Amino acid sequence: MVTPSKGLPRAFRAYGLAAGCVVLSTLCAHLVQPYGHLADQAMILLLGIVFLSLRSSVRTSVLASVVSIFSFDFFFISPKFALAWSDAESIVTFIAMVVVAAVVSTLSENSRRQEQAARATATRTQALYELNVELSSSRDAQELAAVTGRHLSKLFGGPVSVLLQTPEGTLPPAESSRDRVLSHSAWQRREFTKQTAPSGTSIWMPVVGAHSSLGVIGLKPSQPFELESEQGFLLSACVNQFATAVERVQLAGAVRRTQLEAEAERLRSSLLSAVSHDLKTPLATMIAAGAALIGRTGEIEPKAADEILRSVVSEGERLSRLIHNLLSVTRLESATVELRRTPESVDDIVLSAVERFNGRKVPIVSEIAADLPLISAEPVLLEQVLVNLLENATRYGGAEPAIAVYARAADGSVLVQVEDNGPGIAEHEREKVFEKFYRGQHASKSDGGVGLGLTICRSIIRAHGGRIGVRERAGGGTLVEFTVPFAAAREQLSREASLDS
């Protein structure tokens, strides 16, 4: 950072150096007096002036050159020890000394200033670059504010407060009453506001985006601060970058909301068409079957009656499954869904899902790694994911189905894989199968499926902060795998910690 001049001591140093130079060069000139001409002595004095000019301001150098002239005249030009001269030669020397001092010091001052500016630019570029890197990896406005606050505090010293305008269009209050007044004034007028008090300087900078005012940033810099200075430019540049970043995340949020709304609308219309067809079909069967039996219990063969009743039950179960799925999707897709998470063991969830298939003739192998950490999950929802995946595996498995479930730790999460030996899912379908009401090319028209199973799985896994995807199983078949992050360390309890004696 540029440190501002510190008043007296610095001026003293400059004048001290000047005086030293003059005295030293006069002394040297005096020493060579017995051996040289007057011109040589003038040269030595000039050397002192040049030396000084390289390091001092124009004013100091010119002043020192004038002093040197007097000293030259006083000590070396006859009549010695008197301020008088007679020849034109001396006057030329005098003028040359002043001109040299002025020219050399101007040149050196210029190059010093350029160097300073270049260094300041480099510092500013570096600071802005670092800020930008962190801003671009932040996802929401609060995180952006925290990052910016940290950077500004490092650059300017002192505490920084970032106040972002609320969605209602108000400004959150600053800490002290003085800052509350200042921050509001900066925010409403969109103007840089500064107040110096004995307790320190307080400055407030409005954060203004392309479309609207976004908030204010307050600093209590440890050094005196001017807006029209290198620091001021740096602060403005940082604040501008912050404003751009905030607008970026706000815009992204708006886009996402719009997409969600469009998606919800699409879901509603496809639900309606699914409801009209898939709910009506089993109902029609049940009504027809029941009506066929009324008043004819004596006439119909018991075996045939059983057959009819069985279809009533199976259609009823199909309806029940369908309604359950629709309710799951509706709950999971609603924006307000909040998981009721508890620390869960993966074993319990996998076993519980596999147990549901106990009655079926399909063998399911499960291999769960020992000592998996607990996961933070809503257990019934994860069971639902596994049941849906196993349901698909039994439905689309090979002629002699072989289904396996594996669970192991992978990168801070549990990785669960469900595989079957069926025909597999073609590569171009592997994303689409997760879409609502999409049914793969091997799906049967009459098995009661509506294409919601994998959609539900994806919603549940995403809500848990995991990923789900389809791959080809080595040796043919489908492999669906998903991850769920492990619970926080606080909940990974060892037995020592749990109050046992």
Partner 1 sequence: MNRSLLLVVEDDPEMRSVVSFTLRNYGYDVREAATGAEALSQIQTRTPDAMLLDLGLPDIDGFVVTACVRQEHEFPIIVLSARGEEQHQVRALDSGANDYVTKPFREGELMARIRAALRRPVPVAERRDLNVGDLRIDSTQRRVFVRGKEVTLTRTEFDLLDTLARNADRVVTHRQILRAVWGAEHVDEVHYLRVYIKLLRTKIEKDPARPTRILTTLGVGYRLVSAEALS
Which position among 209, 218, 379, 453 is part of the footprint of partner 1 (CB under 8 A)?
A: 379
Q: Show the DSSP H helices in 294-378 as ranges.
A: 302-333, 346-355
The smaller minimum CB distance to partner 1, of residues 274 and 354, is found at 354
Compute the distance between CA of residue 212 and CA of residue 67 in angstroms, rounded to an integer: 61
* Binding flag, residue 391, partner 1 (CB under 8 A): no
Where does this chain touch partner 1 (CB under 8 A) — which range of 57-65, 69-77, 341-349, 456-464? 341-349
CB 416 within 8 A of CB 369: no
Q: How is residue 395 written in tokens?
A: 């439905």
- B/e letters for 220-246, b = 16+ CB within 10 Å, e = fewer, are bbeeebeeeebbeebbeebbebbbebb
Which position among 292, 374, 402, 463 is part of the footprint of partner 1 (CB under 8 A)?
A: 374
* Binding flag, residue 358, partner 1 (CB under 8 A): no
Which position among 269, 297, 441, 494 is part of the footprint of partner 1 (CB under 8 A)?
A: 494
Which position among 57, 153, 352, 417 is part of the footprint of partner 1 (CB under 8 A)?
A: 352
Which position among 142, 223, 273, 492 is part of the footprint of partner 1 (CB under 8 A)?
A: 492
Q: How is residue 162 written in tokens?
A: 């970032």
* Binding flag, residue 67, partner 1 (CB under 8 A): no
Q: How is residue 290 written in tokens?
A: 């029941």
**Which residue pairs from 104-111 have beta carbons closer than 8 angstroms and sit at least 24 positions apart in sequence?**
104/49, 104/50, 104/53, 104/54, 104/61, 105/52, 105/53, 105/54, 105/56, 105/57, 105/58, 105/60, 105/61, 105/62, 106/58, 108/53, 108/54, 108/55, 109/57, 109/58
Q: Show the DSSP H helices in 416-494 as ranges.
A: 453-463
The smaller minimum CB distance to partner 1, of residues 362 and 374, is found at 374
Smallest gap, in angstroms, from Cβ of residue 411 to partner 1? 22
Smallest gap, in angstroms, from Cβ of residue 280 to partner 1? 19
Compute the distance between CA of residue 159 and CA of residue 163 in angstroms, rounded to an integer: 13
Which position among 383, 456, 477, 478 is part of the footprint of partner 1 (CB under 8 A)?
A: 383
Read off φ and ψ for residue 474, nearest 5 degrees. Answer: -60, 125
The smaller minimum CB distance to partner 1, of residues 196 and 492, is found at 492
Spatial CA neighbour of 61 closest among 93, 101, 90: 101
Which residues are paired to 197 by β-bridges?
200
Segment holding 120, helix H or strand E: helix 88-136
Where does this chain touch partner 1 (CB under 8 A) — which range of 107-115, 125-133, 266-274, 374-382? 374-382
Compute the distance between CA of residue 412 and CA of residue 425 in angstroms, rounded to an integer: 29
Smallest gap, in angstroms, from Cβ of residue 216 to partner 1? 41
CB 249 within 8 A of CB 140: yes
Compute the distance between CA of residue 390 and CA of residue 396 in angstroms, rounded to an integer: 10
Spatial CA neighbour of 135 closest among 124, 118, 149: 149
Smallest gap, in angstroms, from Cβ of residue 407 to partner 1? 11
The smaller minimum CB distance to partner 1, of residues 254 and 493, is found at 493
Smallest gap, in angstroms, from Cβ of residue 147 to partner 1? 34
Smallest gap, in angstroms, from Cβ of residue 436 to partner 1? 22
Which position among 111, 142, 188, 342 is part of the footprint of partner 1 (CB under 8 A)?
A: 342
Where does this chain touch partner 1 (CB under 8 A) — which range of 99-107, 187-195, 397-405, 487-495? 487-495
Residue with tokens 């799985």: 457
The smaller minimum CB distance to partner 1, of residues 387 and 470, is found at 387
* Binding flag, residue 378, partner 1 (CB under 8 A): yes
What mask of x and - would describe binding to partner 1 in positions 211 to 230, judged by CB under 8 A?
--------------------
The smaller minimum CB distance to partner 1, of residues 109 and 315, is found at 315
The smaller minimum CB distance to partner 1, of residues 211 and 490, is found at 490
Q: How many CB atoms lie within 10 A of CB 474?
A: 8
* Binding flag, residue 489, partner 1 (CB under 8 A): no
Read off φ and ψ for residue 133, nearest 5 degrees. Answer: -60, -45
* Binding residues among 314-333 for partner 1 as defined by CB under 8 A: 316-317, 320, 324
- 413-419/478-485 β-pairing: antiparallel
Q: How is residue 331 written in tokens?
A: 């709950």
* Binding flag, residue 481, partner 1 (CB under 8 A): no
* Binding flag, residue 334, partner 1 (CB under 8 A): no
Residue with tokens 């799951």: 328
Smallest gap, in angstroms, from Cβ of residue 314 to partner 1? 12
* Binding flag, residue 500, partner 1 (CB under 8 A): yes
Compute the distance between CA of residue 456 and CA of residue 329 in angstroms, rounded to an integer: 6
Which position among 109, 344, 419, 420 is part of the footprint of partner 1 (CB under 8 A)?
A: 344
Q: How is residue 295 written in tokens?
A: 């008043």
Angle between helices 8-32 and 58-75 (to 10 degrees): 30
* Binding flag, residue 487, partner 1 (CB under 8 A): yes
The smaller minimum CB distance to partner 1, of residues 98 and 293, is found at 293
Where does this chain touch partner 1 (CB under 8 A) — which range of 251-259, 422-430, 449-457, 484-492? 484-492
What residues make contact with partner 1 under the rule CB under 8 A?
316-317, 320, 324, 340, 342-345, 347-349, 351-352, 368, 374, 378-380, 383, 487, 491-495, 498-501
